[in-house]
Amino acid sequence: MQGRCPCVQTRGYNASMSVPTHGVYVHLPWCAHRCHYCSFNVVVERDPPQAAYTQALLQQWAGIREHFPAPSTLYFGGGTPSLHPVEQIAALIEAIAPSGEVTLEANPGSTSLDKLEQWRAAGVTRLSLGLQTFSERYTRFLHRQHSAEEALELLQAVSEAGFASWSADLIFALPGQTLDELDQDIAHILASGAPHVSLYGLTAHPGTHLGNAVDGGRVQLPPDEDWARAYAHILDRLQSDGLSRYEVSNFARPGQRGLHNEAYWRAQPYAGLGAGAHGCLPLGTRTLGVSDPAAFIAGPEHYESWETPDPEQRALDLLLSTLRHVDGVPLDRLQALGFSLDRRALLPHLERGTLRERPGRLQLAEAGWTLADGLTRACASALQSSQP
C-alpha cells in the first residue's frame, strides 16, 4: 500500500544498510469484481487491455528511470496483480531490474500452483496474500471473489512453494466478530508458519458499498474499545509465536520485514508507475499518475500532478510516514527541513506513555500503538519552525 512520502534527501542518514534506497511501485488496476470495502483505484473490466498497459508502464519507466538509477525493490500492487499475465510481469521485472525484493500481491481464486512456479521463475521473491479471513460468513460479508476454502488452499500452497518470503493480509474488527472467531483466523495463519503478517481493522471508506451501509445504519463497525481489545489479542498471539511488530499493522519474523513498504515508512524515494500511482522523486517532488487506465495507456508520459511540496508540507508528510514505524520520527530530518517539535505540547503524551523519546527520535510508546492516528495529529500540531 502507498502512503504520501516526504522523500527528504538527508545527508548522513544512517538507517540500516539493508534498507533500500530506491523502490518502484507498479499499480495493476484490474479486479474481477469490487469488494465491498475497497477504496483503491480499481477497474472491473471483462477483457482488460493488459498488454497495452504493460507497454505504457515500460514507456513511463523509460521516462522516469534516470531519477532511480539503482532500484532495490519492486512492488506489484493493485487491483489484483495475480490476474496479470506472467510474461508481462517478467518483462517488467527485467526492464526495472531491481537488485533486491520483488513483491507481488496475490489473491485466492486467481493463484494456481503453476502461477506460483512461474512467478518464481520470473523473479518474484515475495508474495503478499490478500487472505483477509477464513470465515465463510465474513468472506461473503466483505464480498470477496473467493471462498474461505480457497483462501486456506492458497495459504497452504504458498507455505509449501519455497518463496524467500511471503506475507498474509488479515482484516479484523469485522462487525459482530468474536475473539474466538478472530482466533480461528490467526490460528490458520500461525499454523502456516507465515514469515510476515499484515493486519488491518476494517475501515468504512466514504463512497464504498460498506461506507454507504455504515452511513445508512445498516452495518455497525465495532466501537473503539472492541477494536483495541482485538488488536491487543492479535498482538499477543503473534508475538508469542515469534513475530515482532515493526509498524502499526505489520509483523515479521527475524529478517522477514517487507523492505519495500518499510522504505515508505522511512520516507525514502520511490517511483510510482501506472494508473493513479503515487511516487516520490529523490529530491522531494511528488508524482501522481492519471487514474483512468485508458488515459494512462494513451499518454503514459503525462501525470495527474508533478509537484514539489513546501518544506512544511514535507515535514508533515515525514511525521505521517515515520511515526507508525518502530524507529519513529528522525528528528534530524525534520531539522534539515527547518522544523522541530515543541516538546511542551507533546509533554502530556510523553507523561502518559503514548510517546517516548530516544536519541534523535520520537517514537510510539507501548500505550501509543493503537493511537497512532491521533498521535500523528498531535505531532503535526506541535510542529514549529526552527529557523531563527
Ligand X SMILES: C[S@@+](CC[C@H](N)C(=O)[O-])C[C@H]1O[C@@H](n2cnc3c(N)ncnc32)[C@H](O)[C@@H]1O
Interface residues toward ligand SF4, by CB under 6 A: 31, 34-35, 38, 40, 42, 78-80, 107, 130
How many other CB atoms are there within 10 angstroms of residue 193's CB atom? 10
CB of 30 to ligand SF4, least distance (A): 8
Q: Which residue is nearest to ligand X (CB)?
A: 130
54 binds ligand X (CB under 6 A): no
Helix H, strand E, coil C: the string for 251-263 is: EECCCCCCHHHHH
Interface pick for ligand X out of 10, 118, 147, 203 (rule CB under 6 A): 203
Secondary structure of 68-133 in the HEC alphabet?
CCCCCEEEEEECCHHHCCHHHHHHHHHHHCCCCCEEEEECCCCCCHHHHHHHHHHCCCEEEEEEEC
Closest contact distance (angstroms) between CB of 151 and ligand SF4 is 12
Position 110 contacts ligand X (CB under 6 A): no
Residue range at the interface with ligand X (CB under 6 A); choices 181-189, 202-210, 240-248, 371-379 = 202-210
For Cα atoms 237, 242, 243, give the angle at the middle one, nearest 5 degrees.
75
Residue 122 contact partner, candidates ligand X, ligand SF4, none, CB within 5 to 8 A by sort of partner: none
Cell of 139: 468472506
Rank residues 78 and 258 by Cβ distance to ligand X and give the closer one.
78
Dist CA 333 CA 79 (whole Å): 34
Question: How near is the Cβ of 143 to ligand X at its closest, in Å?
Answer: 11
Q: What angle do CA 89, 74, 108 make, to 5 degrees?
A: 60
Torsion on CA atoms 286, 292, 293, 296, rounded to nearest 10: -50
Residue from the set 56, 202, 315, 316 that interacts with ligand X by CB under 6 A: 202
CA-derived radius of gyration, the chain: 21
Residue 21 or 110 with smaller CB distance to ligand SF4: 110
Pairwise CA distance, residues 161 & 168, whole Å: 14
What is the CA angle 278-231-381, rounded to 5?
Answer: 55
Measured from the CB atom, the residue of 79 and 258 that comes closer to ligand SF4 is 79
Q: Closest CB to ligand X among 181 and 332? A: 181
Cβ partners under 8 Å of residue 239, min gap 6: 245, 251
In the complex with ligand SF4, the residue whose CB is nearer, 31 or 74, is 31
Q: Per-residue x/- marks for ligand X, 130-169, CB under 6 A? A: x-x------------------------------------x
Point out which residues bind ligand X (CB under 6 A).
1, 37-38, 77-80, 105, 107, 130, 132, 169, 171, 200, 202-203, 205
